[in-house]
Amino acid sequence: MLLCGLALYGLSSGLILQAGLGVDPWDVLHQGLARTFRGQVGTWAILASVVVLLLWLPLRARFGVGTLANAVLVGLCINVTVWLVPVPHSLALQALLLMTGILLNAFATGLYIGAGFGPGPRDGLTTAFAARGHSIRLVRTVIEIAVLAVGWLLGGSVGVGTLLYAAAIGPLTHITIPLLRPGVPAVPPAGDRL
């Protein structure tokens, strides 16, 4: 489940990139870094994961094998997908690629989280800050806005795909995570709500 989920996550991110209609906030950053400093988007995703993991150290966050696999495998699969999947030249195909990417991303998230081998670097950073008494919603929002802004300033693509991803990924993973990890409630107890 872990390896399949991470591979599909990288594939889904690559599809969203190739759609050319805007990408999720972290990939706006990765794409902006690739455009500014050269290199592949997936390679920058790996490098960003390493930096994020270094931020875990002062927070004393604990990681698992899934955390390390996430840091490397997702970026490699992004690079392979971007290499293999051509950029579509019609809006209908772009929209199809975007929607497929978003749905696949939600499914992949449910798979790799459901495997239970540790959070991804970015998710772990959020939960490590939240464990210090901050709202997960606030922490996640601040981090996402910050990486989106930096990525956009570096030339990353912000568009309708960015907005659609932001609106859809929460409700979709609300379904896929409990579905693919039995025993995880769809709605957390009142004290744990975001």
Instruction: Please write the tens of the pLDDT for every residue from 28-49.
Output: 999 999 999 999 999 999 999 9
Model confidence at 10: pLDDT above 80: yes
Question: So what's the pLDDT on residue 184?
Answer: 52
Residue 96 tokens, joined: 């199809």
Residues 62-108 pLDDT 10s: 888 999 999 999 999 999 999 999 999 999 999 999 999 999 999 99
Rg of the Cα atoms in the chain? 16
192 pLDDT band, cuts 50/70/90, is very low
Tell me whether residue 71 is exposed, middle or buried, using C-beta atoms within 10 angstroms of its C-beta: 0 to 12, 13 to 18, 19 or more: buried
The predicted model scores a pTM of 0.87
Return all residues near 183 (Cβ < 8 A) that are at least 6 apart: none
From 8-12, 84-88, 170-174, the region with the lowest mean pLDDT? 170-174
Alpha helices in the chain (DSSP H): 2-19, 25-37, 41-59, 65-84, 91-114, 121-130, 136-153, 160-180
